[in-house]
Amino acid sequence: MSDDNRLSERIDALEARIAYQEDTIETLNQTVTAQWQQIDALRRLVSELGDRLRDAESDSRGAPANEPPPHY
Q: What is the pLDDT of residue 72?
A: 64
- In this predicted structure, the answer to whether residue 15 has a pLDDT above a threshold of 70 is yes
Q: What letter does residue 68 receive in the DSSP assignment?
A: P
What pLDDT shows up at residue 65?
Answer: 61
Digit-coded pLDDT (tens) for 21-68: 999 999 999 999 999 999 999 999 999 999 999 999 888 776 666 777
Res. 9: pLDDT tops 90:
yes
Q: What is the pLDDT of residue 1?
A: 74
CA atoms within 13 A of residue 68's CA, in its CB half-sphere: 3
What is the distance between the alpha carbons of residues 44 and 37, in angstroms, rounded to a whole number? 11
State if pTM tops 0.85.
no
